Amino acid sequence: MLLNRPFWVAIALCLSSNVEAACNHDNCLRAFIRSSAAASSFCATYTPGSSTPTRTTGLPRFVSACQDSPARISSACACLATPTPTTATSSPTTSVTAKATCAATQYWPGWENIKYAFVFGDSYSSTEFNETGVQPSPTNPLGNPTYPGFTSANGPNWVDFLTTKHNASLLLTYDIAWSGATMDSALVAPYIPTVSSIAEQVENLWFPNYASKPASAPWSSDDTLFAVFDGINDVGNSWAQGVPATTTLNAEIFNVYHGLVDELYYAGARNFAFLNVPPVDRAPLTSEKGPESQAEEKADILDWNTLLAGMAQDLKSMFPDINVFAVDASLLFTQVLDNPASNPITAGYLNTTGYCDAYANGTPTEDYFDPTCGIPVNQYFWLNNLHPTYPMQDVLAQGVAAQLEAGPNVC
C-alpha cells in the first residue's frame, strides 16, 4: 500500500488534469464517478455502436443519469479517470482531534482566512436552511431561517456555533444538511422517503445552486471548507442487520461517499472536514434496548469510523493537493458522556443517560424547567432518545474549530 502510493499519486495527478480539461461534469459523468468501480467494469465492455442502450435492457443504475444517450455514456466512460478507491488497509485512527501532523497545501489559507463553509449532514447538523431562500451574508452569516434555525439541539447546533462562536473570521455558512439523512437512500432508507440523502444534498442541492460560484456564494478553492457529518442514521437504520451484513453494506456506502467527495473535488473543493460517528449506542434509543443491542451498534460504528479514516487517507493519496481534517466526534462525545466537567461548556450536565418526555420535542427556552423532569432541559445531555442538547453541540463545534486551527491531520 505505502509502496504503491507514489504510483497512484502520479496516475491521479495526470488523470485529474485531463479530466478537468476535457470532461463535462454533468449528471451522467457524476453518476459514473459515484459508482466508479461498477462503472469501470461497465465501460470496459461498452461499445457504443454494438450495444446501444435502451431503458429496458437492465443497464446499471448509474447509466440512467445519461438519458440513454450513447454519446454521453461514451463520454462519461472516456472521462471516468478516477482510480477505483482502494480498500481501507490502514489501521483505525483513534484520536485525531486537534493534532496537526501534516503540511497544508496552497489551498488552505488558515482557519482565520476561511470565508465560506458548505455543510452536508443529518439532524445533528441541519438548521433547515433552504437554498432558494435568503442567502448567508455578513449580517446574517447562516442566511435563512432566522438564527439558530430549526435544530435538533434545543438551541444552536455545531454548524451555528462554528459560524458565530468558534469562528476566527467572518464565515458564511451554507448548511445543506437534512434531518434523517443517510449517505444514499437506495442503500439505507431514511425514516421518510422525502429526506435528501448526502448524495442528493451534493448532487441536487449543492451542484445546481453553488457549484457555479454564484454571486450569492462566490467561493474559491482556497477560501472554503466542505464539511461532511454523516453516518448516525446509516448505522442507526442498519446495525440490527448484524455485523456480516453491515460490513458489506458499509463498504458499499463508502464507495458512494468517496465518489461524492470526488465530485466535489472536480468541482473545485480542496478543504474537507470529515466528522466521524459519535457513540450513539449510548443514546437512549439503543440503551433502552439493552447491552446486546448497544454492543452491536458499537461494532457497526467502529467499522464506519475505521472506513472513514481509511477513506480520508485514500482521498489524500489520490488528490495530494487537498487538505483533510478528520474530526473525532466520537472522542469528543465520549469525553463529555464520561465526564461532563471535562469541558466547562458541558459542566452543567447532570444527566447523561436518560431524557425527559416533557422536553423531548423542544422547549420554549434553552434552560426551560418542568418539575416533572427534575432538572432544567439544558442539564440533560440527551434532549430525546437520539439528539444531544446544545452544550454538546457547542463542544463539537469547539473541537471542529480546534482541528481547523491546528491544521490538516491526514497526510
Ligand X SMILES: *[C@@H]1O[C@H](CO)[C@@H](O)[C@H](O)[C@H]1NC(C)=O
Binding residues for ligand X (CB under 6 A): 130, 132-133, 141, 164, 167-170, 351, 353-354, 356, 373-374
Task: Using the minimum distance from each CB to ligand X, give the nearer residue, 355 or 390.
Answer: 355
**Separation CA 186–CA 238 (nearest Å):** 13
297 contacts 243 by C-beta, under 8 angstroms = no
**Separation CA 239–CA 241 (nearest Å):** 5
Task: Using the minimum distance from each CB to ligand X, give the nearer residue, 84 or 204.
Answer: 204
Task: Using the minimum distance from each CB to ligand X, give the nearer residue, 94 or 353.
Answer: 353
159 contacts 118 by C-beta, under 8 angstroms = no
Task: Using the minimum distance from each CB to ligand X, give the nearer residue, 395 or 401.
Answer: 401
Minimum CB separation of residue 400 from ligand X in Å reads 14
DSSP lists the bridge partners of residue 272 as 226, 324
Minimum CB separation of residue 359 from ligand X in Å reads 9
Minimum CB separation of residue 207 from ligand X in Å reads 16
Minimum CB separation of residue 211 from ligand X in Å reads 19
Task: Using the minimum distance from each CB to ligand X, give the nearer residue, 79 or 395.
Answer: 395
Query: What are φ and ψ of residue 356, in 5° steps?
Result: -110, 130
In a 13 Å sphere around the CA of 303, the CA atoms on its Cβ side amount to: 24
Task: Using the minimum distance from each CB to ligand X, give the nearer residue, 167 or 294.
Answer: 167
Residue 213 buriedness (CB in 10 A; 0-12 / 13-18 / 19+): middle
Task: Using the minimum distance from each CB to ligand X, give the nearer residue, 119 or 410.
Answer: 119
Minimum CB separation of residue 310 from ligand X in Å reads 33
Minimum CB separation of residue 91 from ligand X in Å reads 36
Minimum CB separation of residue 295 from ligand X in Å reads 21
Task: Using the minimum distance from each CB to ligand X, give the nearer residue, 111 or 265.
Answer: 111
Minimum CB separation of residue 343 from ligand X in Å reads 19
Strand-strand pairing, 224-229 and 116-121: parallel
Peptide bond into 145 cis (omega under 30): yes
Residue nearest to ligand X (CB): 354
| Helix%, strand%, coil% for the chain, nearest 5 | 45, 10, 45
Minimum CB separation of residue 132 from ligand X in Å reads 5
Rounding to the nearest 10 degrees, give the CA dihedral for residues 302, 178, 118, 77: 80
**Separation CA 324–CA 269 (nearest Å):** 11
Kindly list the distances between the CA atom of residue 250 and the CA atoms of 40, 242, 377, in Å, as whole numbers in the listed order.
20, 12, 35
Task: Give the per-residue SS3 of 113-165.
Answer: HCCEEEEEECCCCCCCCCCCCCCCECCECCCCCCCCCCCCCCCCCHHHHHHHC
How many residues does the structure list for the chain? 411
Task: Using the minimum distance from each CB to ligand X, give the nearer residue, 109 or 141.
Answer: 141
144 contacts 258 by C-beta, under 8 angstroms = no
**Separation CA 168–CA 405 (nearest Å):** 9
